[in-house]
Amino acid sequence: MAEATFVADRTGALRLDAAAKEERYALVRAQVDAVLEGERDLLSAMCTMVCVLHNAFPYYYWTGFYRRVGPAELRVGPYQGTMGCLSIPFARGVCGAAAREGRTQLVPDVHAFPGHIACDSASASEIVVPVFDAAGGVIAVLDVDSTLPAAFDETDQRHLEALVAKLAHLDAVP
């Protein structure tokens, strides 16, 4: 692997404007594509995505996957950031809503979201993107939290949905 991890500067303002976000996501997606070329293992791919994403964006505070482990239960998967909750039922939280509805949840103010689960009280906003398998079933969600209010928008949604779409055809090796 030739490329080093791109690490964002977190010493200044954390928020990126729209143009900076686009540029950063282009870099991230190119890096993920290069590193995962030919990769078959789902868990390795998830770990790589979390690492690249978490390091690249100054406004990302918690970045990780929750995996579907039953008809209506999520359990924490690869993540970076502070300690995550281990288990989330489909009935609860932003992650549960994304898994249940199979739709991305953009939450500008987590305190206004009914049933939000505060794994870390520093989180102010979040985005949760469902991950589908080749048959269209939800196999996981990608959850990103920020300490900034309204940190995520349609740009994050579009790029994160495109990134996790790469996971659909990988192998879940037990």
Give the binding site for ligand SME (CB under 6 A): 62, 84-85, 88, 93-95, 116-117, 119, 123, 126, 143, 145
Concatenated DSSP letters of 110-148: GGGSTT---SSTT--EEEEEEEE-TTS-EEEEEEEEESS
Dig out the tokens for 10 from the structure: 């977190």
Closer CB to ligand SME, 51 or 117, in the complex: 117
Closer CB to ligand SME, 22 or 120, in the complex: 120
Closer CB to ligand SME, 42 or 107, in the complex: 107
Closer CB to ligand SME, 126 or 156, in the complex: 126
Distance between CA atoms of 115 and 23, rounded to whole angstroms? 34
Q: CB nearest ligand SME: which residue? A: 93
Distance between CA atoms of 46 and 40, rounded to whole angstroms? 11
CB of 22 to ligand SME, least distance (A): 26
Residues 6+ apart with CB under 8 A from 166: 32, 33, 36, 45
CB of 151 to ligand SME, least distance (A): 13
